[in-house]
Structure 1
């Protein structure tokens, strides 16, 4: 053998091995980068989702805190019957099954009221005490003055696992008891499960000491337990959010976890996404790529070995060497490809072994003609393939290339990428020979189909989102918009027609009022951080708008707007506020609301001594006889009748209220005591001369009225003075008006 041929062969092998080494190193780095990228995307998705979940939990706790506060004040200001109606209204304003029980405990821990005990039963008969419960004990000695969230406990009245939201009840600085709102742990878990129905993923709601409050799946396995003590959020309370990867001890599933503390609450929300589910597609892709490249490398080495042998044995055979170089070029370009060479004149179609194996034939078993290939094309794709081939044969395309299905010999269907080009033509331009390659892309097609399905699921989710969704890329162009956003923005266009629209053009299309919804914070002053606002449009509808940037490594990739119509929620909140400040029976302001007005009037008098004001205390005489004689229903009608007479007997700028029981009060502003005395006498006479039909007979009642002038001494002093005058009126024979002179006992 010529020595230079041997050296060339060795040099060629060194070059091939070096190239393969570099190629495999780069391939491995690419696979590693793909895995890291997918893992980063999963963590980002978990972080964004747990952030949104933490905001939802914060909103829920704020609602429960507001509900607990209002119910506690209502208990202190109203009777049990009125309070029970207030509790019923509040429970109907919340999702069904959310609140299991509303209970009131005395300062000794004895349960005075429970919404689970019927109105005609007595709570005291149950002899239930919660003095040993942490959600009661924590409020003693003012250890906890605000809302306290307990561990899940098994209710002694309800018999259900609940999370207790409790607040102390204070009157004039003295603890009078504790209000407890019991929220179903199963309801909390069901809410998480509705968002994350797949058991492979899990959402957790925890106390900041690690105790489970809710779990989207397997709640019964964690009630009364805590997460392992090595979780970071149990030790470093200065950190608001983070990640960890563990195998869950509850179900043995390995997950990526993202956690976040709920702002201003001793709660932690954690979301775990299954590693196996999240990484399955990319791992399968990496495995397939590795196998594909391994086969290609082996084929390449075998081809190189074969070519080397031919080169060394037939170095003088130039034609054979050229043919071998041509085959090597096809192998290098296509890797693990099937090759075919079609003689258009004779119909002979010579294919390599890989081509035959793709279709399930042994080497040399398939007939080397055009008909063998044509018969293997899936019947539904044959027309498309013929059109693409004939277009190239007519020189209408630069090369023949198409993707279609082929039927293997065993009946299995595979997807292939077929490429070819006319190698030679006759003088008239008719094709003589066409050569090409065939690549099995079945696995890649499966991956692409899975990605298409994922995109379809995302599109379906956005379209069914209960509100508007708008997403823009880093350049400010619309990438995703759902039908709900088009309706909220008042755009009649199809959402697909808005894709690619610049931000400024979109704002111009929706008009200045709704363009304000899409304002983007100035990064120089505010930074690219999440923002939530509430706006009201010209029709009085309220909208909650969340704006958040999509960030990766301090680089903004885009931004998202979420718009929800919260008009119904606002109306419910307004109704609850009205209910908390109004007496449910008479529709007059209640004691708490009236005291606020009295405090404001006293403050005005302190700063403007020249102004005048008078406070009336009004009490129905012998009202207990009405209840005893005619029943409580008749008594309620009498109370409403007297309330209407008081309301209609006052001036427009005066204020009346029911302080409790049969006791009323009126605040007269800008009137001297003498004139107020005349007004009070007219009101007393009007009530005495009237009667009300109770259904059990007509009832006439009288009232006693105590009158006290307002001064800089304050509301409480004025109330005591008017009460003393009222006491004097009762002691003097009732049905009369007495003025406080400073001489009453």
Structure 2
């Protein structure tokens, strides 16, 4: 456009009378018009694309809002179904029915169309609308939802069915089912039925366009609800191509489609619900949504076509004027300037204000914008201001003055102007001053007007949409929000719905830029957990789900449940889109329900009663799990009705109980009957059946509820008492205060009745042997009445007149009535007394044996208590007299026993044979012998003997066997045995330092034969003793010397290296050579030759041979020296010393 302006400036300066110049000007004008139309059409296309984007955005926002609403409904259905399922499985019918009513009342009216329960076979056990009477029980075994839940794993989730026509109501329903599982596995399904019409009505309140549509789908594309043409699509699904695209798509998406069903071109947007396999799709009809924009574009095209035609005609006229000559140049320049503004504006109204004469001129388009024909509008500035909306006038005047006084580079204003029909249209006015006088006062101002009413209407629609969305969000029972966590740790809430005020009691503006105040409302006990979960969600970009408490300004504590999905932004921030709602009342109701259930459970569990419910009209009887459990059946093992009840009842009991129940039910009174019911194993169980009418209709009983109480233990106890009484080994009498027998058991009759006749009404004088003894026994009655009970042993006569001894116990039948009846229990102890007499004799003989036992003896019982001990034991261990030990725990005596003995008397019960050496030098032999009776432990018998003298004799014999009698050193056998043990211990893996494995020395007195020959064997023995003493004095404590025979000695040096052994051998050689042996023949100087070898690999024989070889080398080398053995290839090393 700038090039066009310059071109026209140039035209105004060239020679106007040139026809070639006029043709060039017309060509330039055509080019400018073509460029203008390209730009105009591009602008129209942008308008259409922006409007389409707004429509798509509107569809996406509506789909997101409706998905949130559906998620809230699903969450509520999920909680209700979980609670109802738990209550049903507990078998509490009243609580289940109450919770069902509460759930239906909690949700909006009409939302839950049906609540039902089916068993594991698909049969309907419960329906909120009741079950048809006189007809087979309805079944759901062939329905998709039941088959899916029956055949799948128990994932604890709520499952959604395809829509189908209900067999009960004949209407379309969508079922939401939860599997019921008990300890035996799959037990059935709890079903909540929702009408698709209810879901569609909820969508219609949000989708207001006549041709717009909202749809609820399953994840697989199955239709669940639709605002338009619902009956035509229910039972069907999306086309396979769309279903496949939906399955592959993410959380949300959009598409433009024109379905064949109604031929309507729509923008569709879908959004998945969180945590549930549902999709909400919203379609906005393209035609109505784009109608205003298309009208605006069409109007713009029409006006621009007219304007372009006018422009071209004007240009042609100007060209003619150019050709007329230079006389008309001034007028042509003015026309060209107007033409320049027309080119700038295109579809714009042009205005020209001459401020010096206050004249306003405008083009036809300017007037047409306001609906005026040319020439009807006023031409003054005041006329122009009068057309502006009163609310906008001051603002327009302020902007205009700012430009006139040079405060702004140009004038621009958006305001409303009144049209000819009195309405207002939005106008965008632009202009600038084009000329000023010498004093800089404005003379002329030109500009354009653009009709932006359509743009303003689009903004208004967008605002209305946002307001509608805001209202929709406000209806959600909770707070919708956006939360941003920045990389620097700061946080804010870019968006918060008004529900923030209701939940947190704070306005959204307070936390829009800084979320700290809101986060600080979190309960201190929950804050670390909530902050950690937010950070974890940010790190993993995982869905944030949390329940927590907040503290409000009024001190109230509220429970909230939050759910949000995060996304990473370009600057590293994490933005959550989520929803928070108050679950305080929900938790309180759940807790109250749990408390109520727990109280009922504890009550029923405490009494262990079974509950039953009898529908008299239907003839059906419902038993809870306890009723089945009593009889040994699994829960709901079979359906119960009156016929089943009759088969289960004992034939002898049913007529009586049936008559009683019929009479009491007819009277409306409760009944209580005892009867037997057949168990799963074929036996009979005694129960008390109690019941009462709980529902009437038209004066007739309709429903009876009651309990079954297991009284088998009580009945068994009564039978047991009767059996015990009759089968007791004791004779039992019930006697009146006048000593008349009122009752006698079978044993009493057997002992005392001559003809086994009943003894009731008779006196007991015959058993006493006459009236005299009978009367004397009356004194025992006085003791009985004063004490309440009495026990004594007393002789009586049986039916044959034989005397028998009895253990007699007497007890008052009623302790509060001393003068009342008496129970006498008589146990025949004749045989016991005989055995006791024999046992006393045997015990006396046993005591004599114990006292004369040659050693200590102690017997303890299985509880480790001392039963007897003899005097020898007490003397051996310095214990008190035997009589004081009887009955005392053995552990109590441990502190008085020598530690060595106490250690043997441990907790074991097996046989033991040990020896214990005491601090005083004594050695005791202790033997423990288990006492068994029929193979069972009956106690322990301890035998102890002092074997000190025997041990001393054994020690002396052992010493004599291993010691050389002359020198006191170990003899050859003992030494070689010790060497053998050393070789075993010095295995390579057991030697800390292999270089110190040990050494063996072989020592032989030099020229010993001369001593014997010169001085005799007695002196030779004294020399050998001197050698032994020298060995003891030089060797270390751990070294072992020994005499192998004659003048030959050996020394074992454990843990010694070759060098250390060599030095020790040298000291030993020097000690013998430096000190003479004291003998009766006087001091004798002696020397010795020593052979040394390491305790290397080899046997005892190998080591002795090596040491002997080294000794031989020492002898051959001149005696009085030490030689260490080397393998044959080495040369022996010797050291020789001579006596001084």
Shift of 1:107: 5.9
Shift of 1:192: 3.9
- On the 8 A contact 1:68/1:165 being kept in 2, the answer is no
Aligned to 2:603: 586
Aligned to 1:227: 237
1:69 correspondence with 2:112: no
Superposed CA deviations along residues 328-362 of structure 1, whole A, max 9, x for unmatched, are: 33223333333444444544433333344445554
Shift of 1:535: 2.0
- On the 8 A contact 2:44/2:297 being kept in 1, the answer is no
1:34 correspondence with 2:50: yes
Shift of 1:214: 2.8
What number of residue pairs does the alignment pair up? 621
Aligned to 2:499: 484
Once residues 353 and 569 of structure 1 are traced to their aligned partners in structure 2, the CA distance between those partners, rounded to angstroms, is 69
Shift of 1:68: 5.5
Aligned to 1:331: 342
Aligned to 1:354: 365
1:732 correspondence with 2:720: yes
Aligned to 2:549: 536
1:450 correspondence with 2:469: no
SS at match of 1:232: helix
Change (3 A) 1:129 1:485: closer
1:5 correspondence with 2:21: yes
Superposed CA deviations along residues 29-77 of structure 1, whole A, max 9, x for unmatched, are: 5346425633653464366346535634652553354246325413xx3
- On the 8 A contact 1:35/1:283 being kept in 2, the answer is no
For residue 55 of structure 1, the aligned residue among 38, 54, 71 is 71
SS at match of 1:525: helix
Change (3 A) 1:594 1:354: closer
- On the 8 A contact 2:177/2:191 being kept in 1, the answer is yes
1:507 correspondence with 2:516: yes
Aligned to 2:964: none
- On the 8 A contact 2:67/2:273 being kept in 1, the answer is no
Shift of 1:457: 3.9
- On the 8 A contact 1:192/1:216 being kept in 2, the answer is yes
Change (3 A) 1:246 1:584: farther
- On the 8 A contact 1:42/1:278 being kept in 2, the answer is no
Superposed CA deviations along residues 143-201 of structure 1, whole A, max 9, x for unmatched, are: 78676644444444455543344566666647766554444443444444455465544
1:116 correspondence with 2:134: no
Larger relative CO (CA 8 A, sep 6+): 1 or 2? Answer: 1
Residue correspondence of structure 1 range 42-441 to structure 2 within 5 A? 42=58, 44-45=60-61, 48-49=64-65, 51-52=67-68, 55-56=71-72, 58-60=74-76, 62-63=78-79, 65-67=81-83, 69-74=85-90, 77-78=91-92, 84-85=97-98, 87-105=100-118, 110-117=123-130, 125-130=134-139, 133-134=142-143, 138=147, 142=151, 149-158=160-169, 160-166=171-177, 173=184, 179-196=190-207, 200-207=211-218, 210-217=221-228, 219-223=230-234, 225-233=235-243, 243-247=254-258, 253-259=264-270, 268-280=279-291, 283=294, 287=298, 301=312, 305=316, 307=318, 310-311=321-322, 314=325, 319-320=330-331, 322-363=333-374, 368-369=379-380, 373=384, 376=387, 401-409=412-420, 411=422, 413-424=424-435, 432-441=443-452
Change (3 A) 1:544 1:132: closer
Shift of 1:543: 1.1
- On the 8 A contact 1:116/1:158 being kept in 2, the answer is no
- On the 8 A contact 1:203/1:272 being kept in 2, the answer is yes
Once residues 420 and 240 of structure 1 are traced to their aligned partners in structure 2, the CA distance between those partners, rounded to angstroms, is 51
Once residues 58 and 11 of structure 1 are traced to their aligned partners in structure 2, the CA distance between those partners, rounded to angstroms, is 70
Superposed CA deviations along residues 368-393 of structure 1, whole A, max 9, x for unmatched, are: 55565466556676666566656655
Once residues 503 and 179 of structure 2 are traced to their aligned partners in structure 1, the CA distance between those partners, rounded to angstroms, is 43
Change (3 A) 1:217 1:543: farther
Superposed CA deviations along residues 239-294 of structure 1, whole A, max 9, x for unmatched, are: 66655544456665443334466678665544333334554565555556655665
Once residues 389 and 263 of structure 1 are traced to their aligned partners in structure 2, the CA distance between those partners, rounded to angstroms, is 55
Once residues 423 and 237 of structure 1 are traced to their aligned partners in structure 2, the CA distance between those partners, rounded to angstroms, is 64
Change (3 A) 1:306 1:70: farther
Change (3 A) 1:34 1:473: farther
Larger Rg: 2
- On the 8 A contact 1:222/1:250 being kept in 2, the answer is no
Change (3 A) 1:138 1:42: same
Aligned to 1:573: 590
- On the 8 A contact 2:427/2:450 being kept in 1, the answer is yes
- On the 8 A contact 1:135/1:150 being kept in 2, the answer is yes
Superposed CA deviations along residues 67-96 of structure 1, whole A, max 9, x for unmatched, are: 46325413xx34x56654454455445544
Structure 1: any 5+ residue segments left out of the alignment? 596-621, 639-660, 664-700, 707-725, 737-745
Once residues 419 and 481 of structure 2 are traced to their aligned partners in structure 1, the CA distance between those partners, rounded to angstroms, is 47
Once residues 332 and 458 of structure 2 are traced to their aligned partners in structure 1, the CA distance between those partners, rounded to angstroms, is 40
SS at match of 2:563: strand
Once residues 373 and 732 of structure 1 are traced to their aligned partners in structure 2, the CA distance between those partners, rounded to angstroms, is 118
TM-score (norm 1): 0.65
Shift of 1:634: 8.4
- On the 8 A contact 1:388/1:402 being kept in 2, the answer is yes
SS at match of 1:450: helix
Once residues 718 and 288 of structure 2 are traced to their aligned partners in structure 1, the CA distance between those partners, rounded to angstroms, is 79
1:526 correspondence with 2:540: yes
- On the 8 A contact 1:582/1:588 being kept in 2, the answer is no
SS at match of 2:139: coil
Structure 2: any 5+ residue segments left out of the alignment? 1-16, 611-623, 627-653, 674-686, 690-707, 725-1140
Superposed CA deviations along residues 498-555 of structure 1, whole A, max 9, x for unmatched, are: 59x53xx33257637389879966898324x653332223554221223345899999
Change (3 A) 1:249 1:373: same
- On the 8 A contact 1:51/1:260 being kept in 2, the answer is yes
Change (3 A) 1:232 1:490: same
- On the 8 A contact 1:151/1:163 being kept in 2, the answer is yes
- On the 8 A contact 1:551/1:558 being kept in 2, the answer is yes
SS at match of 1:513: coil
Shift of 1:226: 1.0
Shift of 1:204: 2.9
- On the 8 A contact 1:490/1:510 being kept in 2, the answer is no
Once residues 586 and 523 of structure 1 are traced to their aligned partners in structure 2, the CA distance between those partners, rounded to angstroms, is 45
